Structure 1
């Protein structure tokens, strides 16, 4: 029997055209079934069928799949709740390095999760938050070179800019940061699952990402990666039941933490873990590189069609090494167009003054045709 196609593995309402994975990605059918079954079991039988050895095996599978997705060592993978929880592992974990005169650097168009995290840290520890200006939606390499200095503790940026889809060359920025003794943390939520990533080759120190966008995972789950050698560098500010290999001992005892990133584990005993693992397995079977090429192919098809309609421009970079799963088109009435498309059951987003379109592996040219016909319909009415 042939393997099911990506379209067969998803169950998006066939009446919808869903091109909004940069917002929330639908769950694969298998992931949904597993999560639903797990909560049904909890509803009907409580703890009676919780299998702790099987749960521990699941952690191993999840961390293996997470390591494959980020291109890093399994020892550096922890399952978290979302992007913010991963960023805060780093933010508070580096508190001993926040001394007078030190600074943290972010671009000026970061999504608020990344921005708020470092605003809070800068205020709490009375250090400088250096916010770099963007031109055409990104910070140029010359600005990074000028602004990262020997007092920079950390550089934090999104791999993919959520408003326009710009894909940063992380290796260039990481090399600059490391040459000055700085660390780098990446908000990976708009890249992981849609853009090939290799933490080892990029020499990334930390990456944090929620599961519910391009990873097609459940809400309330995420991945965190650290270089294994940095685990001793980070003070662990939030530990709990599963932060130790002795988690089966339920009452007071000396705290002996895991020696790897499992010390940061959060919420490790609920049905969404199985669903998240099923989503990662689905992505890895599709292949992230193959998924990326499919998305770019759909974008090229869209761009050719949009170029024939007066009043629309492409504001995302079309340079080969700067493209991601997101493409943004601009029109003076972008917000009205997005609202109109929703009445036609075509889902995209209004972001940063434009129409943000974010297809995935299971989307087809027919979905793009529906979108373009919806836009043409708006033009005819206006």
Structure 2
């Protein structure tokens, strides 16, 4: 439970754990006391239910294209190891989260050209960044790896326009949805990503060390980064496991992590996503917009820089410091006022959720104002 005296505006760092999610984990933990009650079906049905539920959230018609992963880096490793190209350009948004950079940098050893794309206009950062990305897509482009929003400041990337441009050159769209899926509407049917990789402990409000990955047809028939028994065809038949099987389970299930039938983490994530579907990401955007709109105007008037609403999300946004405010002074003020946000790159990252209220916003405003007034 969050403490009333502490303003936690930091879901992009890690979501708090809902009581019902915690209860699901405790219940799963206690199941190990009585292993004779864990059936063969339990190894498969709970993960299948999670795939179906997550597919509802991201508007996906094929649940077996969704697999359980332990981390974003794991999900991306399956992508990088199964690209249908031998050379060309890999485009990234500048200063992405490292898990969506390091796997691509390894491809430089194979002759790929990895190019980070940055905004050209600091005053119109979101618009110029989207334009630079669209202009960078050429017949040499093999992959664009990007988030729906930038993890450090919430800059919104226009994925449908990007998808259309990539279609013209035969490029793949690989999305890290960790900082958006669950809080910002996302449709696989409309955006048509070739891969969508998402950690579970932020906006999906689940536990650490579990996530979900969608792999489109471009990765059918690939080689998974690990070989485990449960991803093989007919692995549901425990009596026949010693008759080793060359074939994998259908669609993307070959890419699922070993021991994915996690009787603790899977029901926790399932319970969290059920709640998110009940809230609906559209409503989360509306709530966070209404919660923060007046304070954002006030902070902008005091000299803090923020992207226009058209090119940023409402659940995650960055504030850039005026010249009169030092990072150290602001950190001290935030700590003193018991306000939790993050410093990422050159931005102060604020990430509210439905559990925040006007009292939290007042604490944030007070903490952000104090260094301004102290400098005058």
Q: 1:245 to 1:367 in 2, by over 3 A?
A: farther
Aligned to 2:94: 108
| Cα distance in 1 between the residues matched to 2:38 and 2:205 | 25
Matches within 5 A, 1:285-364: 285-307=278-300, 310=302, 312-315=303-306, 317-320=307-310, 322-331=312-321, 332-364=325-357
User: If the length of structure 1 is used for normalisation, what is the TM-score?
Assistant: 0.88
Task: Specify the SS of the correspondent of 1:157.
Answer: strand
Q: 1:361 to 1:253 in 2, by over 3 A?
A: same
Among residues 264, 268, 278, which one is paired with 2:271 in the alignment?
278
Aligned to 2:113: 128
1:191 touches 1:324 (CA, 8 Å); kept in 2? Answer: no
Measured after TM superposition, the shift of residue 104 of structure 1 is 1.2
| Cα distance in 2 between the residues matched to 1:108 and 1:142 | 14
Measured after TM superposition, the shift of residue 314 of structure 1 is 2.7
Q: 1:144 to 1:245 in 2, by over 3 A?
A: same
Aligned to 2:225: 237
Q: 1:324 to 1:235 in 2, by over 3 A?
A: farther
| Cα distance in 1 between the residues matched to 2:179 and 2:308 | 17
Aligned to 1:188: 177
Q: 1:234 to 1:61 in 2, by over 3 A?
A: same
Aligned to 1:7: none
**Structure 2: runs of 5+ lacking an equivalent:** none
Among residues 77, 88, 92, which one is paired with 1:88 in the alignment?
77
Measured after TM superposition, the shift of residue 179 of structure 1 is 0.5
| Cα distance in 1 between the residues matched to 2:354 and 2:139 | 42
| Cα distance in 2 between the residues matched to 1:339 and 1:223 | 37
Q: 1:86 to 1:237 in 2, by over 3 A?
A: same
Q: 1:142 to 1:233 in 2, by over 3 A?
A: farther
Matches within 5 A, 1:119-158: 119-123=105-109, 125-135=110-120, 136=122, 140-158=129-147
1:107 touches 1:134 (CA, 8 Å); kept in 2? Answer: no
1:89 touches 1:236 (CA, 8 Å); kept in 2? Answer: yes
Q: After superposition, give the CA deviation of every residue in 1:11-66 in whole Å (9 maximum; x if it has no partner).
A: 22333211001111111111111112322343x44x33323313422112211121
Measured after TM superposition, the shift of residue 318 of structure 1 is 1.8
Among residues 48, 63, 66, which one is paired with 1:60 in the alignment?
48
1:303 touches 1:314 (CA, 8 Å); kept in 2? Answer: no
2:130 touches 2:157 (CA, 8 Å); kept in 1? Answer: no
**Structure 1: runs of 5+ lacking an equivalent:** 1-10
Aligned to 2:367: 374
| Cα distance in 2 between the residues matched to 1:324 and 1:255 | 47
Task: Specify the SS of the correspondent of 1:191.
Answer: coil
Runs of 4+, deviation exceeding 4 Å: 377-382
1:338 touches 1:348 (CA, 8 Å); kept in 2? Answer: no
| Cα distance in 2 between the residues matched to 1:163 and 1:307 | 18
User: If the length of structure 2 is used for normalisation, what is the TM-score?
Assistant: 0.89
Measured after TM superposition, the shift of residue 144 of structure 1 is 3.1
Aligned to 1:203: 192
Measured after TM superposition, the shift of residue 80 of structure 1 is 1.0
1:254 aligns with 2:245: yes
1:328 touches 1:355 (CA, 8 Å); kept in 2? Answer: yes
| Cα distance in 2 between the residues matched to 1:257 and 1:187 | 25
| Cα distance in 2 between the residues matched to 1:369 and 1:209 | 32
Q: Which moved more, 1:54-63 or 1:151-160?
A: 54-63
Q: 1:244 to 1:324 in 2, by over 3 A?
A: farther
| Cα distance in 1 between the residues matched to 2:326 and 2:136 | 37
Q: How large is the Cα RMSD of the aligned pairs? A: 2.1
Task: Specify the SS of the correspondent of 2:37.
Answer: coil
Q: Which moved more, 1:162-171 or 1:247-256?
A: 247-256
Measured after TM superposition, the shift of residue 378 of structure 1 is 4.8
Instruction: Give the length in aligned residue pairs.
Output: 362
Q: Which moved more, 1:54-63 or 1:210-219?
A: 54-63
Q: 1:343 to 1:240 in 2, by over 3 A?
A: farther
